[in-house]
Amino acid sequence: YQRRVRGVSRLIPPLFAEIHQPSGHVAHESLWRELNNDHPVEGGVVDMFTLESLSFHPRLQLLHNFASDEEVAQLLSIAQRTIEHSPQPLTARRKAQGALSVSATEESDSQLVQTIEERISRLSLQHWLAAEPLHALRYRVGQGDAVHHDALPAGDDRLSASQGGQRIATLMLFLNDVTDGGAVRFDTAKLEVEPRAGDALLLWNVEPNGLADERASYEHQPVTGGEKWMLRQFIRASVFRRAGK
Protein backbone atom coordinates (compact mmCIF):
# COMPACT_ATOMS: atom_id res chain seq x y z
CA TYR A 1 0.00 0.00 0.00
CA GLN A 2 1.15 3.51 -0.82
CA ARG A 3 1.02 6.07 1.97
CA ARG A 4 0.25 9.45 0.48
CA VAL A 5 0.47 12.73 2.37
CA ARG A 6 2.52 15.19 0.35
CA GLY A 7 3.40 15.84 -3.27
CA VAL A 8 1.48 16.95 -6.33
CA SER A 9 0.67 14.56 -9.13
CA ARG A 10 0.61 15.76 -12.72
CA LEU A 11 -2.21 13.33 -13.44
CA ILE A 12 -5.48 15.19 -13.06
CA PRO A 13 -8.79 13.49 -13.92
CA PRO A 14 -10.68 14.98 -16.89
CA LEU A 15 -13.21 16.58 -14.55
CA PHE A 16 -10.51 18.90 -13.23
CA ALA A 17 -8.46 19.36 -16.40
CA GLU A 18 -9.89 22.79 -17.22
CA ILE A 19 -9.19 24.27 -13.80
CA HIS A 20 -5.78 22.82 -13.06
CA GLN A 21 -2.97 25.36 -13.03
CA PRO A 22 0.65 24.47 -14.01
CA SER A 23 1.77 25.28 -10.46
CA GLY A 24 -0.47 22.58 -9.05
CA HIS A 25 -2.95 25.06 -7.61
CA VAL A 26 -6.62 25.23 -8.43
CA ALA A 27 -8.17 28.64 -8.92
CA HIS A 28 -11.95 28.37 -8.86
CA GLU A 29 -13.18 31.94 -9.22
CA SER A 30 -12.94 32.24 -13.01
CA LEU A 31 -14.65 28.90 -13.57
CA TRP A 32 -17.31 29.66 -10.98
CA ARG A 33 -18.01 33.02 -12.64
CA GLU A 34 -18.44 31.26 -15.97
CA LEU A 35 -20.80 28.66 -14.54
CA ASN A 36 -22.84 31.34 -12.79
CA ASN A 37 -23.08 33.90 -15.58
CA ASP A 38 -20.12 35.93 -14.31
CA HIS A 39 -21.69 36.40 -10.88
CA PRO A 40 -18.80 37.38 -8.57
CA VAL A 41 -17.69 35.19 -5.70
CA GLU A 42 -18.76 36.82 -2.43
CA GLY A 43 -15.87 38.74 -0.93
CA GLY A 44 -13.76 38.36 -4.05
CA VAL A 45 -11.73 35.56 -2.43
CA VAL A 46 -10.12 32.97 -4.69
CA ASP A 47 -9.77 29.58 -3.01
CA MET A 48 -6.25 28.26 -3.56
CA PHE A 49 -5.06 24.82 -2.54
CA THR A 50 -2.98 22.01 -3.96
CA LEU A 51 -4.83 19.16 -5.64
CA GLU A 52 -3.19 15.75 -5.91
CA SER A 53 -4.78 13.03 -8.00
CA LEU A 54 -4.38 9.73 -6.15
CA SER A 55 -6.41 7.36 -8.28
CA PHE A 56 -8.55 7.11 -11.38
CA HIS A 57 -10.23 3.86 -10.28
CA PRO A 58 -11.89 5.00 -8.11
CA ARG A 59 -11.62 8.72 -8.82
CA LEU A 60 -9.93 10.12 -5.74
CA GLN A 61 -8.29 13.50 -5.09
CA LEU A 62 -6.31 14.72 -2.07
CA LEU A 63 -6.70 18.45 -1.45
CA HIS A 64 -3.75 19.86 0.49
CA ASN A 65 -4.55 22.91 2.65
CA PHE A 66 -8.21 22.85 1.71
CA ALA A 67 -8.89 24.76 4.95
CA SER A 68 -6.56 27.24 6.65
CA ASP A 69 -5.17 26.75 10.16
CA GLU A 70 -7.62 29.34 11.49
CA GLU A 71 -10.57 27.68 9.77
CA VAL A 72 -9.54 24.25 11.03
CA ALA A 73 -9.29 25.48 14.63
CA GLN A 74 -12.78 27.00 14.45
CA LEU A 75 -14.27 23.98 12.67
CA LEU A 76 -12.76 21.66 15.28
CA SER A 77 -14.38 23.70 18.04
CA ILE A 78 -17.72 23.52 16.20
CA ALA A 79 -17.37 19.74 15.74
CA GLN A 80 -16.51 19.21 19.41
CA ARG A 81 -19.55 21.19 20.58
CA THR A 82 -21.78 19.40 18.08
CA ILE A 83 -20.81 15.91 19.19
CA GLU A 84 -20.99 16.90 22.84
CA HIS A 85 -24.59 18.06 22.48
CA SER A 86 -25.95 15.54 19.97
CA PRO A 87 -23.83 12.40 19.75
CA GLN A 88 -24.89 9.59 17.43
CA PRO A 89 -24.77 6.07 18.95
CA LEU A 90 -22.01 3.69 17.90
CA THR A 91 -22.96 1.01 15.38
CA ALA A 92 -21.60 -2.43 14.52
CA ARG A 93 -19.81 -0.99 11.49
CA ARG A 94 -18.82 2.43 12.73
CA LYS A 95 -16.78 2.56 15.92
CA ALA A 96 -16.80 6.34 16.11
CA GLN A 97 -18.90 9.05 17.65
CA GLY A 98 -20.71 11.26 15.21
CA ALA A 99 -23.44 13.85 14.94
CA LEU A 100 -25.97 14.11 12.15
CA SER A 101 -24.94 17.64 11.23
CA VAL A 102 -22.68 20.33 12.58
CA SER A 103 -24.41 22.76 14.90
CA ALA A 104 -23.30 26.35 14.30
CA THR A 105 -24.94 28.58 16.88
CA GLU A 106 -22.74 31.66 16.53
CA GLU A 107 -22.97 33.88 13.45
CA SER A 108 -19.23 33.54 12.78
CA ASP A 109 -19.57 29.75 12.95
CA SER A 110 -22.50 29.76 10.55
CA GLN A 111 -20.56 31.93 8.12
CA LEU A 112 -17.58 29.57 8.21
CA VAL A 113 -19.75 26.48 7.67
CA GLN A 114 -21.35 28.23 4.69
CA THR A 115 -17.90 29.16 3.34
CA ILE A 116 -16.70 25.56 3.55
CA GLU A 117 -19.86 24.23 1.91
CA GLU A 118 -19.51 26.75 -0.93
CA ARG A 119 -15.86 25.77 -1.34
CA ILE A 120 -16.86 22.11 -1.63
CA SER A 121 -19.54 23.12 -4.13
CA ARG A 122 -17.04 24.93 -6.34
CA LEU A 123 -14.65 22.01 -6.19
CA SER A 124 -17.22 19.37 -7.05
CA LEU A 125 -19.02 21.58 -9.61
CA GLN A 126 -22.28 20.69 -7.85
CA HIS A 127 -24.61 23.32 -6.40
CA TRP A 128 -24.35 23.52 -2.61
CA LEU A 129 -28.05 22.67 -2.40
CA ALA A 130 -27.13 19.20 -3.69
CA ALA A 131 -25.08 18.50 -0.57
CA GLU A 132 -26.18 16.91 2.67
CA PRO A 133 -25.26 18.81 5.86
CA LEU A 134 -21.69 18.54 7.10
CA HIS A 135 -21.35 15.63 9.50
CA ALA A 136 -18.87 15.68 12.41
CA LEU A 137 -16.97 12.51 13.37
CA ARG A 138 -14.61 11.70 16.23
CA TYR A 139 -12.53 8.50 16.37
CA ARG A 140 -10.90 7.58 19.67
CA VAL A 141 -8.22 4.95 20.27
CA GLY A 142 -9.47 1.62 18.95
CA GLN A 143 -12.23 3.22 16.87
CA GLY A 144 -12.45 3.05 13.11
CA ASP A 145 -14.90 2.38 10.31
CA ALA A 146 -15.15 -0.96 8.50
CA VAL A 147 -14.96 -1.24 4.71
CA HIS A 148 -18.03 0.36 3.18
CA HIS A 149 -19.36 2.20 0.14
CA ASP A 150 -21.09 5.57 0.38
CA ALA A 151 -23.23 5.16 -2.74
CA LEU A 152 -26.79 4.21 -1.88
CA PRO A 153 -27.84 0.68 -2.92
CA ALA A 154 -30.49 0.07 -5.56
CA GLY A 155 -33.97 0.21 -4.10
CA ASP A 156 -33.03 2.50 -1.22
CA ASP A 157 -35.84 4.98 -0.54
CA ARG A 158 -33.25 7.76 -0.24
CA LEU A 159 -32.50 7.42 -3.97
CA SER A 160 -35.74 9.17 -4.83
CA ALA A 161 -35.52 12.43 -6.74
CA SER A 162 -37.15 14.24 -3.82
CA GLN A 163 -34.19 13.18 -1.65
CA GLY A 164 -31.57 14.29 -4.16
CA GLY A 165 -30.87 10.95 -5.79
CA GLN A 166 -27.55 9.15 -5.53
CA ARG A 167 -24.65 10.15 -3.27
CA ILE A 168 -22.28 10.79 -6.14
CA ALA A 169 -19.30 11.97 -4.07
CA THR A 170 -17.95 12.17 -0.52
CA LEU A 171 -15.78 14.96 0.90
CA MET A 172 -13.74 14.24 4.05
CA LEU A 173 -12.07 17.21 5.75
CA PHE A 174 -9.51 16.36 8.45
CA LEU A 175 -9.44 18.62 11.50
CA ASN A 176 -6.31 17.35 13.28
CA ASP A 177 -3.06 15.46 12.79
CA VAL A 178 -3.57 11.97 14.22
CA THR A 179 -0.84 10.80 16.57
CA ASP A 180 -0.95 7.22 15.31
CA GLY A 181 -3.25 5.18 13.08
CA GLY A 182 -6.51 6.42 11.60
CA ALA A 183 -5.48 6.28 7.94
CA VAL A 184 -8.17 6.11 5.26
CA ARG A 185 -7.53 2.92 3.33
CA PHE A 186 -8.63 2.18 -0.24
CA ASP A 187 -8.10 -1.50 -1.03
CA THR A 188 -8.82 -1.25 -4.76
CA ALA A 189 -6.33 1.58 -5.27
CA LYS A 190 -3.92 -0.04 -2.78
CA LEU A 191 -3.24 3.18 -0.93
CA GLU A 192 -3.68 4.74 2.48
CA VAL A 193 -4.06 8.42 3.25
CA GLU A 194 -2.87 9.74 6.59
CA PRO A 195 -5.11 12.45 8.09
CA ARG A 196 -3.50 15.90 8.23
CA ALA A 197 -5.27 18.96 9.59
CA GLY A 198 -6.67 21.10 6.79
CA ASP A 199 -6.37 18.43 4.09
CA ALA A 200 -9.44 16.93 2.45
CA LEU A 201 -10.26 13.87 0.37
CA LEU A 202 -12.75 13.97 -2.47
CA LEU A 203 -14.00 10.51 -3.46
CA TRP A 204 -16.34 9.98 -6.38
CA ASN A 205 -18.74 7.15 -5.52
CA VAL A 206 -20.06 6.78 -9.04
CA GLU A 207 -18.71 6.26 -12.54
CA PRO A 208 -18.97 9.13 -15.06
CA ASN A 209 -22.18 7.46 -16.31
CA GLY A 210 -23.75 7.86 -12.85
CA LEU A 211 -23.68 4.19 -11.87
CA ALA A 212 -22.17 3.23 -8.52
CA ASP A 213 -18.43 2.57 -8.72
CA GLU A 214 -17.88 -0.64 -6.77
CA ARG A 215 -14.17 0.20 -6.50
CA ALA A 216 -14.95 3.24 -4.32
CA SER A 217 -15.18 1.29 -1.06
CA TYR A 218 -12.87 2.34 1.78
CA GLU A 219 -12.30 2.10 5.52
CA HIS A 220 -11.11 4.28 8.37
CA GLN A 221 -8.43 2.26 10.10
CA PRO A 222 -8.52 2.23 13.91
CA VAL A 223 -6.83 5.08 15.75
CA THR A 224 -3.96 3.76 17.87
CA GLY A 225 -2.86 7.04 19.41
CA GLY A 226 -4.71 10.28 20.18
CA GLU A 227 -7.99 11.10 18.42
CA LYS A 228 -9.12 11.69 14.86
CA TRP A 229 -11.56 14.51 14.09
CA MET A 230 -13.11 15.15 10.69
CA LEU A 231 -16.06 16.57 8.83
CA ARG A 232 -17.78 14.63 6.08
CA GLN A 233 -20.24 15.71 3.42
CA PHE A 234 -22.18 13.57 0.98
CA ILE A 235 -22.86 15.25 -2.36
CA ARG A 236 -26.07 14.25 -4.12
CA ALA A 237 -26.91 14.17 -7.82
CA SER A 238 -29.56 16.87 -7.38
CA VAL A 239 -31.11 19.13 -4.73
CA PHE A 240 -31.21 17.51 -1.28
CA ARG A 241 -34.00 18.50 1.08
CA ARG A 242 -32.46 19.32 4.44
CA ALA A 243 -34.51 19.04 7.61
CA GLY A 244 -36.56 22.17 8.17
CA LYS A 245 -36.03 23.44 4.63
25 has a pLDDT exceeding 80: no
Provide the whole-model pTM. Answer: 0.78
Would you list the DSSP string of 25-83?
BB--HHHHHHHTTTPPPGGGPPP--EEEEEEETTEEEEEETSS-HHHHHHHHHHHHHHH
Long-range contacts of 38-46 (CB under 8 A, 24+ apart): 42/118
What spatial distance separates the first Cα and last Cα of the chain, rounded to whole Å?
43
Provide the edge-to-edge strand list for the sheet that holds 59-64: 50-56, 59-64, 200-204, 167-174, 228-236, 135-139, 97-99
Residue type, 131: A
pLDDT higher than threshold 50 for residue 135: yes
Q: What are phi and psi of 170, to 5 degrees?
A: -130, 130
- Read off φ and ψ for residue 110, nearest 5 degrees: -60, -40
Task: State the pairing for strand pair 145-148/218-220.
Answer: antiparallel
> For 26-38, what is each residue's pLDDT tens digit?
333 443 344 344 3
Cα separation of 129 and 108, whole Å?
21
Summarised one tens digit per residue, pLDDT across range 26-84 is 333 443 344 344 333 343 333 567 889 999 999 999 999 999 999 999 999 999 988 88
| 186-238 tens-digit pLDDT | 999 999 999 999 999 999 999 988 889 999 999 999 999 999 999 999 999 88
Q: What is the pLDDT of residue 66?
A: 94
What pLDDT is stored for residue 46 in this prediction?
A: 38
With left for phi above 0 and alpha for psi between -120 and 50, is residue 198 left, alpha or beta?
left
- Per-residue pLDDT at 87: 59
Mean pLDDT of 170-191: 95
Asked if residue 11 has pLDDT above 60, the reply is: no
Check the CA dihedral 70-79-46-53 and report its sign.
positive
Bigger pLDDT: 228 vs 98: 228
Q: At residue 183, what are phi and psi to the nearest 5 degrees?
A: -65, 155
